[in-house]
Amino acid sequence: MIQKRVQVKGLVQGVGFRPFIYNLALKYDLKGWVNNDDKGVNILLSSVDEKAIELFLYELKNNPPPLAKINEILIKEEKKELEYNSFEIKESENSNNKSTIISPDICICDDCISDINDENNFRYNYALTNCTNCGPRYSIIKTVPYDRCNTSMALFELCTKCKKEYENPTNRRYHAQPVSCEKCGPQVSLYDNKKNKLASNIDAIKQIAHLINSGKIVAIKGMGGFHLVCDATNEDAIKSLREKKNRPTKPFAVMFKNIQEIKNHTILSQKEEEIILSKEKPIVIVNKNDNKKICETVAPSIDRLGVFLPYTPLHYLLFRYLDNPIIATSANLKDEPIIKSVEDIFTKLSNVVEYVVDFNREIINACDDSIVQVVNNDMQILRLARGYTPISFKTDKKFDKNILALGANQKSSITIGFEDNMISSPYIGDLNSIVSMDYFQRSVDTFKKFYDFEPETIICDKHPNYETTKWAKKQNKELIQIQHHYAHVLSCMLENDIDEDVLAFIFDGTGYGDDGNIWGGEVFIANRSSYKRTNHIKYYKLLGGQKAVKEPRRVALALLFDNFTLEDVLSLDNACVDSFSKDEIVLLHKMWQKNLNAPLASSFGRVFDAVASFANILQVQTYEGETGLLIEKEYDENIKDAYTYEIVDNQIDLSKAIYEILRDKDKKEICSKFINMIINIICDISFENKNLKVILSGGVFQNKILLEQLSKKFKNEKREFYYSKSIPLNDQGISLGQLYYKKS
């Protein structure tokens, strides 16, 4: 008799792993058992046929369940042999050492779609249908192991039909923790904004669809929070939504009934279509086509559209009755996280929405929609959330302490490190409000609870005014502070498993520099233990501080003051100058001269703002990255010229470029030559450091045109370069980078 004990670690709970093992054991006539514990899945295999065990293990390694992600398989001979007459699934075990990975929420599968569309199925029209292969996980779980009693489904007792499926290892709903039906599970309700209940279940869905078709703005509960929804072809509804949300131009995402509808409105590559159809169902940024049915006000002045497909059974049922695609944007107030409870919708957004669709399965952990784009025919994640998170990495060496990394202040996330695990939270958002900081604290508490985790060391940014920095200093723990842009380097090194010196270009909007100035156009030679700043954009002044971030013209004016006299500036024929009165320019010049609320910055993100102002593309922006999108739209790859720059005392001086930009009047000319200049800067500096791998990170490299054109040039030069794809290269990746830091 041969007996082997197998331990499987990774994303192996809530993904149908135990029934998979059970049926695999039956296939090879193996005896023994399988169970969960808070480290993963344990298997005991018993057989006289060693070949059968080998075939079992081969299939386990090479063909695991589609939602599983195996990090490690440990196999050892069982010394104390016991006799087994069958193979069984045993109850979960609990220990004091939790380390199993929480599964992300996954979109409804095709089998469940068939169930809700089948009039003969007892789940026909049931809007909370799911199985082992789909449905909520992270959003409903309180702690591991992933058992029903540890989720928000604990309140719902299974009916006879559901229980029969739940207890049958050969059924795809075996131990699917959210499993239920209309008889025993959560119910859908439609309310008006005065909290009056109007309808339930399929009638609620029919009525809300009718309200959307008639131009109403409504709120609908999704997997990890509420969406604000309206008809994407109704100009009046969209205008009203923008006014009520105070969101003048920031693009809205659009949900379509099916992939053909998306193709009718956009230009899709094969890779984009593949991601749109994937089990994660993220929002994918794609190119618009000439179809004008979707209102221009959905994504004004840009040539891109964020598109996605229904990912819950409720969405699929809704689209039965809708006439058009819908805007489906996160329901929240400015600077606050996505709303997860109907009470908060009534309290905070009753002036925005007239009707609300809710269901009484509590969202334990809010989770926004993920956003991705395709660059160089590969996926690049811009917002890491539903479908992909929590995300985990294994370390080459175990942590000697429990570490909590807090990330940045914008696009916040947290990452915990313990044993050989690095586990990062979904997108938290910008920490600019008390409500956002409450959400941040809840996220920390959630991950503590998941893993019985108590941090001994906290890592945060060096910025003294970041809320995360202030929070960290109150915790009475060992504190490590890591420079913002260095953490960007480290996050890219982590994803690409690099542990050597690199040449890193970190271009973004703002980050606190070691000299107290605002950095964002940085070149480092760095490794996991240290960094040296070798080059940076020559400092300029942000006139009005934070106000300059919202007004590109202020950055442009400061660059003019650096290169011209006040009299010369006043006489210039340029859109930036024309956007101010003479008195405003004189006043701002005094601020510039006397350094009054005019901090020094080296940010490349703000240089994008200045160029948009000079080119008369945008003088005041209403959302982060707006100038980058507009410059990208104007790029013409047939224009090969580039603006001139110099490197003086390791500073990248753009003075000559400013003069050249002022001479050009054509937007396409300005934007194309500007992006070409950035490519030249990076390539020229990297040429001086041929022996080092190149790292590209920071929000500026979310510019698809810049990254693709730069990649072409690097590939032609056979240069080894890396940028983040599965970790956002914006500030959401900072917490993972902080944790990759290695003390020298």
Query: How many of the other CB atoms lie within 10 Å of CB of 645?
Result: 19
Residue 722 one-letter amino acid? Y
Contact 661, 652 (CB under 8 A): no
DSSP 23-75: HHHHHTT-EEEEEEETTEEEEEEEES-HHHHHHHHHHHHHS--TT-EEEEEEE
DSSP 693-717: EEEEESGGGG-HHHHHHHHHHHHHT
663 is catalytic: no
Rounded Cα gap, residues 484 and 459, in angstroms: 11
- 339 SS3 class: coil
Contact 175, 18 (CB under 8 A): yes
What's the count of helices (H) and strands (E) in the chain, helices before strands?
A: 24, 32
Rounded Cα gap, residues 288 and 307, in angstroms: 10
- Residue 114, Cα to own-chain centre: how many angstroms? 30
- What are the backbone angles phi and psi of residue 164, rounded to the nearest 5°? -60, -45
Structure tokens at 196: 């009056």
Query: How many of the other CB atoms lie within 10 Å of CB of 547?
Result: 11
Contact 331, 226 (CB under 8 A): yes
523 sits in the region (left: phi over 0; alpha: psi -120 to 50; else beta) called: beta
Start-end of H helices in 330-371: 342-349
The residues near 21 (Cβ < 8 Å, ≥ 6 apart) are: 34, 41, 43, 60
Start-end of H helices in 356-453: 434-451
Rounded Cα gap, residues 423 and 102, in angstroms: 9
Structure tokens at 96: 């004091």
Rounded Cα gap, residues 185 and 153, in angstroms: 8
Catalytic residue among 5, 23, 35, 36: 36
Rounded Cα gap, residues 591 and 585, in angstroms: 10
Rounded Cα gap, residues 676 and 268, in angstroms: 26
476 is catalytic: no
Structure tokens at 252: 């809205």
Contact 536, 519 (CB under 8 A): yes
The residues near 409 (Cβ < 8 Å, ≥ 6 apart) are: 430, 431, 432, 461, 463, 466, 467, 468, 731
Rounded Cα gap, residues 681 and 669, in angstroms: 18
SS3 content of the chain, % helix, strand, coil (to 5): 35, 25, 45
Contact 94, 145 (CB under 8 A): yes
Just list the catalytic residues: 18, 36
